[in-house]
């Protein structure tokens, strides 16, 4: 277990350094970096406890007791900052850390007025001056670890909807990976809640140090979120959307108040289809709603409405539908017979194999390999 804690501590610090030095970093990256530092401190203090140093240095007792209260807010604010177009902090953002601060204020008496002997006795439950506080803290930890992931999960879903509404690619800008991280956090805190309920309410002795399981999960979580957090570009970065406005997805009912007349929308739709057929903008891997709107000479809001109303799909699926048709067309041409399927896909505008496979399956109901085999069989029959 020593190796696990050592890896977790240094990995957290290393990831925070990478995030702070990341090119084009945003406040969301900085938030994630600070979160990684908090995780490393949390792991370090528990590791010190495991090594028995709290007995040697009693003033270390409880110094990270409120730390579980920051993980939920950090997660929530990371997703929130990713959604904001300017990534700016707002004053009320810091209110999420109020329970964390209040916990430390309440513990001032313990930190500065308890003797070393009293701190050891409190840690070993020989005295129980802070027993009620510890129980309330436990419930606050679990509650924070469940509520924040739920809200963050919904926000991440909204973010991904914005991606599909504005971009014809998802590589390194999607927060789909974060939804798995959110579920992992909820699972960790949920496990803590169940175990603590069994111990404190049902008085069940599990016979092992269950904290090691929690912290092992935290180390795995750090590796996962750090890796993807560094790779994540962010949909509002200048490298991804230079001077391009970002719009949020709307419900069909909201278009009724847009002011776009049906006749005009139909005309724009015809022009759009003509551009897609003649200029083939979908061959551009990094095509955005803004770029296509400029090509059509309309605003992104109008183009989004036209695509959603007349095609019944979002921008991502609309563009990838053309790319799939391009792939199918090229697969039937003799000059592409020596090309692999993925090479044709890249040449048709796709920028990743996974996106291509998913789009192809969604569009045709078959995998690319199955489709190609059917085409070969059909040709042999003819």
DSSP per-residue letters across 275-307: HHHHT-GGGSTT-BHHHHHHHHTS-HHHHHHHH
Instruction: Please give the domain boundaries of the chain with CATH numbers for all domains.
Output: 2-231 (1.20.1070), 252-381 (1.10.10.60)
**pLDDT at position 169, please?**
84
pLDDT score recorded for residue 326: 93
The pLDDT assigned to 20 comes to 87
- Degrees to nearest 5, angle at CA 181 with 178 and 185: 140
Q: What interhelical angle do 68-83 and 176-196 show, nearest 10?
A: 160
What pLDDT, on the 0 to 100 scale, is given for residue 101? Answer: 95
H or E stretch covering 31: helix 27-50
Number of other residues whose CB lies within 10 A of the CB of residue 316: 22
State residue 324's pLDDT score: 94
Sign of CA dihedral 140, 143, 146, 148: negative
CA separation for the pair 354, 340 (Å, rounded): 15
Distance CA 94, CA 80 (A): 13
pLDDT at 245: 62
Question: Under 8 Å CB-to-CB from 372, ≥6 apart: which residues?
Answer: 331, 341
Are the beta carbons of 265 and 296 closer than 8 angstroms?
Answer: no
Structure tokens at 190: 């949920």
Q: Among candidates 71, 94, 203, 50, which has minimal Cα distance to 141?
A: 71
Please give the DSSP secondary-structure letter assigned to residue 382: -
d(CA 72, CA 185): 8
Closest to 306 measured CA to CA, from 243, 261, 257: 261
Q: What is the DSSP code string of 165-228?
A: HHBS--TTT--HHHHHHHHHHHHHHHHHHHHHIIIIIS----SS-THHHHHHHHHHHHHHHHHH
**Which token pair is 16?**
């925070």
281 CB-near residues (< 8 Å, 6+ apart) = 275, 287, 291, 292, 295
CB 272 within 8 A of CB 337: no
- φ, ψ of residue 167 to 5 degrees: the values are -135, 150
**What is the block-wise mean pLDDT of the chain (382 residues), using blocks of 10 residues?**
81 88 82 91 89 88 91 90 75 92 94 91 84 87 88 86 84 74 80 74 70 77 75 57 60 66 91 95 92 91 90 92 92 84 92 90 86 68 51
First vs last C-alpha separation in the chain? 65
Residue whose token pair is 């290393």: 14
Quick one: how far is CA 135 from the chain centroid? 31
Q: Over the range 364-377, which residues count as b (16 or more CB within 10 Å of their CB) and which as e? A: beeebeebeeeeee
């Amino acid at each position: 277990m020593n190796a696990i804690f050592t890896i977790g501590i240094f990995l957290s610090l290393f990831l925070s350094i990478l995030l702070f030095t990341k090119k084009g970093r945003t406040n969301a990256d900085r938030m994630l970096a600070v979160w990684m530092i908090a995780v490393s401190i949390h792991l370090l203090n528990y590791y010190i406890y495991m090594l028995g140093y709290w007995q040697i240095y009693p003033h270390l007792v409880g110094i990270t007791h409120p730390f579980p209260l920051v993980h939920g807010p950090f997660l929530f604010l990371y997703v929130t900052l990713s959604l904001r177009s300017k990534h700016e902090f707002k004053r009320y953002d810091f209110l999420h850390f109020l329970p964390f601060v209040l916990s430390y204020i309440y513990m001032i008496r313990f930190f500065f007025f308890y003797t070393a002997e009293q701190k050891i006795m409190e840690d070993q439950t020989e005295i129980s001056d802070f027993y009620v506080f510890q129980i309330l803290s436990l419930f606050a930890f679990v509650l924070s670890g469940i509520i924040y992931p739920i809200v963050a999960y919904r926000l991440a879903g909204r973010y991904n909807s914005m991606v599909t509404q504005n971009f014809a690619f998802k590589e390194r800008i999607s927060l789909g990976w974060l939804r798995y991280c959110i579920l992992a956090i909820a699972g960790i805190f949920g496990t803590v809640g169940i175990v603590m309920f069994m111990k404190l309410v049902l008085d069940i002795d599990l016979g092992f140090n269950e904290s090691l399981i929690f912290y092992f999960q935290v180390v795995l979580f750090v590796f996962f979120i750090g890796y993807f957090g560094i790779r994540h570009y962010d949909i509002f970065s200048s490298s991804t959307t230079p001077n391009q406005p970002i719009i949020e997805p709307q419900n069909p009912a909201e278009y009724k108040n847009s002011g776009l007349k049906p006749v005009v929308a139909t005309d724009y739709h015809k022009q759009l289809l003509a551009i897609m057929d003649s200029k083939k903008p979908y061959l551009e891997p990094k095509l955005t709603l803004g770029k296509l709107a400029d090509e059509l000479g309309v605003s992104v809001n109008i183009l989004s409405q036209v695509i959603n109303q007349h095609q019944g799909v979002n921008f991502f699926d609309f563009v990838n539908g053309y790319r799939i048709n391009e792939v199918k067309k090229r697969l039937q041409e003799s000059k592409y017979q020596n090309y692999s399927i993925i090479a044709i896909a890249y040449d048709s505008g796709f920028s990743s194999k996974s996106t291509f496979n998913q789009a192809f399956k969604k569009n045709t109901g078959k995998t690319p390999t199955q489709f190609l085999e059917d085409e070969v069989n059909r040709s042999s029959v003819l």
